[in-house]
Amino acid sequence: MEREIYELSSLLSDQRALIENLMQMSGEDRTSVGTSSLHNSSFSTNPINVLMQKMGGIAGVLNNLPNSDRVIMHGEVIQLDNDSMRPQHTVMLILLSDRLLIGHPSSGKYRFQLDSTHSLNNLAAVNIKDREGGETASSMFKLLIFPGQRIFVAESARKKKEWLDCIETAKRELLREGSLVRQATIRGKRRQDLSAKTEPANQLTSISESSKSPDESAWLSELPAELDDCIAHRDMDQAVELILEWKSCTTREAAIDTQLALREAQIVQLLSEEVNFDFFCKCFFFVNKSVQHFVQAP
């Protein structure tokens, strides 16, 4: 099964590369891609100075951001009362790589004052459907922050979608980074165990006892959920990497292994479907180009 996953993943990558090369050879217009890249580059710029002029209490947070963190999105929204759904006041939201800052109106030097900060691991952004929010539902969303929730109205439906998408993407990236850190820790522990095997035979018992690493156990317990997230977002490259990492673990938990085996089978099926779909696209491309050449021929 492990070899099948690796072969399917490699085949899928080859198919994608071939299709991209064919599109380039056909002179496919890629202006839209460049425009999107330019938009993303502009969108990811850190407007730290502007934000510190609008909101008090955030200078210490923004000035001490790690190099890997950034301001992903910011803007003003209207907070509603949870019961009556009536507007309360305007708030400022600032989405960082690992947390969300919420600022309330201030009568002091700044228009807003930092009210609270929330780790992205402890909140969820949820869309509000028409039947829940009435006429303004198209622009409404809520943040589930244990133990309660906050309801907001964005300036437009498009802006609401941006908030939902950006928060979800940031949460996924944070989860991925955490997974990579745990994998690195596990690999380091595994290398230590392997090097320890060169020690005298009287140390073999302690090595055996340490093979069931607490770090590996904790990582394995979270792995089914991480794989579910990869599958839901069709992130097959990360899913394959996680499966291969699981295969190389020395720690074994029967219940978790059963869950992971089911995810592995599902990933193999999805990879097979993607390979077949990419092959179909390649065939369609060749047929389409051949027909065009035939029609244009004198």
Q: How far apart are the first and last CA of the chain?
A: 52
By CB neighbour count within 10 A (0-12 exposed, 13-18 middle, 19+ buried), where does 161 fall? middle
Asked which of 167, 189, 218 is the last residue of a domain, the reply is: 167
The answer to whether residues 54 and 132 belong to one domain is yes
pLDDT single digits (tens) 4-38: 555 556 666 666 665 555 555 544 443 333 333 33
The answer to whether residues 143 and 177 belong to one domain is no
pLDDT at residue 209, as a whole number: 43
Asked which of 167, 188, 222 is the last residue of a domain, the reply is: 167
For the domain that residue 67 is a member of, what is the CATH number?
2.30.29.30
Q: How far apart are CA 191 and CA 175, in angstroms?
A: 24
User: Is 34 part of any domain?
Assistant: no
Q: Which residue has the higher pLDDT, 91 or 68?
A: 91
Side-chain-side CA neighbours of 1 within 13 Å: the count stands at 15
Split into its structural domains, the chain has a count of: 2
Q: How far apart are CA 15 and CA 25, in angstroms?
A: 15
pLDDT at residue 184, as a whole number: 65
- Give the type of residue at 153: V
Counting residues of the chain whose pLDDT is more than 70, the rounded percentage is 61
Q: How far apart are CA 11 and CA 20, in angstroms?
A: 14
List helix spans (H) across 116-156: 130-133
User: Is 38 part of any domain?
Assistant: no
The answer to whether residues 119 and 61 belong to one domain is yes
pLDDT at residue 282, as a whole number: 57
User: Is 238 part of any domain?
Assistant: yes
Q: What is the DSSP string of 58-111?
A: -HHHHHT--TT--EEEEEEEEEE-TTT--EEEEEEEEEESSEEEEEEE-SSSSS
Q: Which residue has the higher pLDDT, 287 or 64?
A: 64
pLDDT at residue 84, as a whole number: 86
Q: Which of 231, 234, 287 is nearest to 263 (CA)?
A: 231
User: Is 291 part of any domain?
Assistant: yes
What range does the domain containing 49 cover?
A: 44-167
The answer to whether residues 163 and 177 belong to one domain is no
In degrees and rounded to multiples of 5, residue 66 shows phi and psi of -60, 160
Over 70: is that where the pLDDT of 117 sits? yes
pLDDT at residue 80, as a whole number: 93
Q: Are 232 and 266 in contact (CB under 8 A)?
A: no
Q: Are 186 and 216 in contact (CB under 8 A)?
A: yes
User: Is 39 part of any domain?
Assistant: no
∠ at Cα 137 (131, 139), nearest 5°?
160
Do the strands 148-153 and 140-145 form a parallel or antiparallel pair, or are they unpaired?
antiparallel
The answer to whether residues 61 and 176 belong to one domain is no
Site of tokens 């990419």:
278
The answer to whether residues 55 and 139 belong to one domain is yes
- Give the type of residue at 246: W
Q: How far apart are CA 69 and CA 95, in angstroms?
A: 11
The three-state secondary structure class of 279 is helix
Over 60: is that where the pLDDT of 114 sits? yes
Do the strands 112-119 and 99-105 form a parallel or antiparallel pair, or are they unpaired?
antiparallel
Q: Which residue has the higher pLDDT, 54 or 11?
A: 54
pLDDT single digits (tens) 180-215: 666 666 666 656 655 665 555 445 444 444 445 666
Lowest mean pLDDT among 104-118, 148-162, 282-296: 282-296
User: Is 138 part of any domain?
Assistant: yes
254-296 vs 2-25: helix crossing angle, rounded to 10: 30
Identify the sign of the CA torsion 196, 200, 201, 206.
negative
pTM for this model (two decimals): 0.53
